Amino acid sequence: MEKNKLQLAQEKLKSIYGYDQFRDGQRVIIEQVLEGIDTIGIMPTGGGKSLCYQIPALVLPGVTLVISPLISLMKDQVDALNELNIPATYLNSTLSASEESTRQSRIKEGHYKLVYVAPERLNHPSFQHLLEHISLSLVAIDEAHCMSQWGHDFRPSYLSVSSWLDELSQKVTVLALTATATKQVCFDLQQFLHIDQQNVITTGFERTNLTFQVKKGVSKQKFMSSFLAARKNESGIIYASTRKEVEQIFDELASKGFDVACYHGGMSESQRSANQEAFIHDEAKIIVATNAFGMGIDKSNVRYILHYNLPRTIEAYYQEAGRAGRDGEASDCVLLFSPQDVRTQSFLIEQSDRTDDRMEMEYKKLQQMTGFCHTERCLQQYILHYFGEDTNKTCGKCSNCVQAGEKVDRTKEAQMVFSTVKRVRERFGKTMIAQILVGSSNQKIKQLQLNDVSTYGLMKDWTQKDVAEFIDILMAEEYLRATGTSYPTIQLTEKTLPVLKGEEQLFITETLAPAEPQEQDDVFEALRQLRKQLSTDSNIPPYMVFSDRTLKEMSRYIPVTMDELSEISGVGEQKKEKYGQAFLEVLIQFKNNQPVLSERQSKKSSGFSKKGQYLETAKRFKEGASIEQLVEAFSLTEQTIVKHLIRAEQEGIELQLAQFVKEEHRLLINEVAKEVGTDFLKPIKEKLPDHITYQEIRFTLGK
């Protein structure tokens, strides 16, 4: 490949997008595309798939055609590109005849580098005529999993893409991109597009910035209210299974004063569009929606996804959860589980008009999703395993990884369950097995003479619900499996034999540690307020001004010149020129420790506190001030002063905080940290003697 093509791609990355280097996989995919090699790219949501065709589009001659499934996705992407002064447009059903004619004329004239279309348009005579007058260099297929009937969002219109490509008179490079492709889906894409395995680039499915939690046995309404109350300034999506539930949640949150909108298929198109726009522009912080919402949303500052109900498949769940933290910043994904959700999804499968094979696959996928809610292993690891990534690595922060308390030996109870399944010859489902074990006097148990089974009543000290949940855990851990029908029966797997023989033990952990609260960053809040005002003035979503990640980097380093601002990730030439001065005005105030509001912001905010003065805190500490004196001088809490000092030390200011901890305490802290990990401090504190404080732990570990 010509050396200057790759150099040009690198230059575009910095000058237009403001990034110094490509992310994992982006460079390889872009190199292959620039060499004219047909490629499949599998990257997690937020992994930067769009850059894989946007940058080649700017380097290659001619037009890049992007096949996209949703109108809203096209509009968001084109708006973002136009904001960067990249000539792009779309052709879809929202355009009037005159608008479409004008755009087609400008495409023929070579005005646009990227053109977005839906797959349904490819075989329209007018579009075929347009193709005869333009030079295509690249065809990018976004959300390519829609091509496979085994994909969670199969769309028949996508099936025409491969035949359209085969009949295309021009020789073009093809790039197919998706975030959620199992091995079966990937194989389908290779067959449809005639792409060899060596040209499938997979960067892995792991999302290290997401924290996954599954909550069982909680009041959903109470949990949701307290969860949202702690995140009033953050953007988030709440997913529910039915329209009725969406409206109930919306009404409840609106009555409590939350800034909320809703979205489902029963609303008019204008209502859905208005609510979606309100969410994208941060006018509504929260949107409650069915799974009809989201695929077309490129909003980068979604900080949490709350699943009020169980999704049907791991693919759907991971794609929906993946809409949090697209900017790479830490975000939460919480799933509230109840057994009723499984029944709801089973009913929806039963009511569908799928073939028997497809229906059986849907039941199997639902069981795998239920397994996610009951697994004992790391939640991120469970997802990676589902997508075919074998790894022993744990995330260290999901609700399973940070469970507090000792694991309980449940070998004996597991043997009882396995024996019961074996004695009834694997003919019954979870409910009947649970009823046998608790000694139920249910009439059906007596009719089938199941009260004569030798294990009848062996777990009479348990409730039927607890036994059923225990069976769910055993299925999640692949000791048992359910047949893929609407009335599943339970079967043993090969993993059960060592447990039945007493050669292996089985442990379950039953309690969870609460998450630690996050500290507010007032510099970031000030920048976020400014971003909102600028976005309103320009009539674009706030994240199109700068992402949360860029704002947080600004708040950490506090650049005060244009040159310093250029070093911040995400600040390209176009945005620096357009917004740079406004952001510098705010940042300079914090650098000087004089948080006086500019006229621009005084209308929007009542003022700032002094929490942003971590550098001044470090300076005074270095000069000999004690933590108690700093607490009094700045009117801050001891915890905030400690965090200021740690932040300063992490940024290279030599404070030698560890020397303020007794050596024997440091040794103990390091020993425990090595054992339980350092992602959270609470598990470390619980393993240490009571007289060792959180401050000593923080100073020792620099956290």
pLDDT for 235-248, tens place per residue? Answer: 999 999 889 999 99
Tokens representing residue 515 in the block = 């998450």
| Partners of 333 in the β-ladder | 212, 305
pLDDT at 406 over 80: no
Q: How many CB atoms lie within 10 A of CB 377?
A: 16
Type of residue numbered 458? L
Per-residue DSSP letter, 168: -
pLDDT given at position 295: 59
* DSSP SS3 for 689: coil
pLDDT given at position 361: 83
pLDDT at 304 over 90: yes
The structure tokens 């995919």 sit at 29
pLDDT given at position 610: 36
- C-alpha closest to that of 253 among 331, 308, 324: 308
* DSSP SS3 for 116: strand
Q: Are strands 408-409 and 507-508 parallel, antiparallel or unpaired?
A: antiparallel
Buried b (16+ CB within 10 A) or exposed e, 307-327: bbbbbbbbbbbbbbbbbbbbb
Torsion of Cα atoms, 529 then 531 then 535 then 541, to 10°: -100
The phi, psi pair for 380, rounded to 5°, reads -65, -40
Where does the pLDDT of residue 294 fall: very low under 50, low under 70, confident under 90, or very high at 90 and above?
Answer: low
Q: How many CB atoms lie within 10 A of CB 197?
A: 9
Where does the pLDDT of residue 81 fall: very low under 50, low under 70, confident under 90, or very high at 90 and above?
Answer: very high
Q: In this predicted model, which residue has the larger pLDDT, 680 or 585?
A: 585
Across residues 603-610, what is the average pLDDT? 34
First-to-last alpha carbon distance for the chain, in angstroms, is 46
Span of 95-104, 436-445, 498-507, 613-622 with lowest mean pLDDT:
613-622
Q: Helices 627-634 and 638-650 meet at what angle, rounded to 10?
A: 110
pLDDT at 286 over 90: yes
Tokens representing residue 185 in the block = 């889906």
Q: Which 3-state string (H, E, C) describes 412-462?
A: HHHHHHHHHHHHCCCCCCHHHHHHHHHCCCCHHHHHCCHHHCCCCCCCCCC
| Partners of 507 in the β-ladder | 409
pLDDT, tens only, 517-563? 444 578 898 999 999 999 998 888 999 999 998 998 898 888 989 98
pLDDT at 136 over 90: yes
Q: In this predicted model, which residue has the larger pLDDT, 508 or 30?
A: 30
Contact 137, 173 (CB under 8 A): yes
Across residues 482-501, what is the average pLDDT? 84
- The region, left, alpha or beta by phi > 0 then psi within -120 to 50, assigned to residue 121 is alpha
* DSSP SS3 for 678: coil
Q: Helices 663-676 and 694-701 meet at what angle, rounded to 10?
A: 80
- C-alpha closest to that of 562 among 584, 531, 590, 587: 584
Contact 459, 467 (CB under 8 A): yes
* DSSP SS3 for 490: strand
Contact 123, 149 (CB under 8 A): no
Structural domains of the chain sorted by starting position, each given as residue range(s) with its CATH number in brackets = 3-202 (3.40.50.300), 210-386 (3.40.50.300), 410-508 (1.10.10.10), 522-602 (1.10.150.80), 614-701 (no CATH)
pLDDT at 414 over 90: yes
pLDDT given at position 318: 92
Type of residue numbered 505? Q
Question: pTM for the whole thing?
Answer: 0.65
Spatial distance between the Cα atoms of 332 and 516, rounded to a whole number of angstroms: 13
| Partners of 89 in the β-ladder | 115
The structure tokens 């999993």 sit at 145
CB-based burial label for 99 (10 Å; 0-12, 13-18, 19+) = exposed
Q: Which 3-state string (H, E, C) describes 18-59?
A: CCCCCCCCHHHHHHHHHCCCCEEEECCCCCCCCHHHHHHHHH
pLDDT at 193 over 80: yes
Spatial distance between the Cα atoms of 245 and 268, rounded to a whole number of angstroms: 18
pLDDT given at position 636: 64
pLDDT given at position 69: 83
The structure tokens 């595309």 sit at 33
pLDDT given at position 514: 38
Using a CB cutoff of 8 Å and minimum separation of 24, what contacts does 246-250 make? 246/288, 246/289, 246/290, 249/224, 249/288, 249/308, 250/288
Spatial distance between the Cα atoms of 62 and 456, rounded to a whole number of angstroms: 74
Contact 501, 419 (CB under 8 A): no
pLDDT at 637 over 80: no
Span of 135-144, 552-561, 688-697 with lowest mean pLDDT:
688-697
**Summary count for the chain: helices (H), strands (E):** 31, 17
pLDDT given at position 520: 52
pLDDT given at position 108: 92
| Partners of 211 in the β-ladder | 332
Type of residue numbered 418? F
pLDDT given at position 635: 62
Type of residue numbered 634? F
Where does the pLDDT of residue 604 fall: very low under 50, low under 70, confident under 90, or very high at 90 and above?
Answer: very low
Q: In this predicted model, which residue has the larger pLDDT, 546 or 670?
A: 546
Tokens representing residue 684 in the block = 């470390």
Q: In this predicted model, which residue has the larger pLDDT, 679 or 138?
A: 138
Across residues 27-56, what is the average pLDDT? 91
Tokens representing residue 493 in the block = 């797997």
- The region, left, alpha or beta by phi > 0 then psi within -120 to 50, assigned to residue 118 is beta
Where does the pLDDT of residue 680 fall: very low under 50, low under 70, confident under 90, or very high at 90 and above?
Answer: low
Span of 32-46, 264-278, 334-348 with lowest mean pLDDT:
334-348
Tokens representing residue 370 in the block = 């239920």
Across residues 223-244, what is the average pLDDT? 90
Spatial distance between the Cα atoms of 180 and 119, rounded to a whole number of angstroms: 19
Tokens representing residue 386 in the block = 């589902």
The structure tokens 């009937």 sit at 149
Contact 56, 64 (CB under 8 A): yes
Where does the pLDDT of residue 651 fall: very low under 50, low under 70, confident under 90, or very high at 90 and above?
Answer: low
Type of residue numbered 577? E
pLDDT at 300 over 70: yes
Mean pLDDT for the chain overall = 84
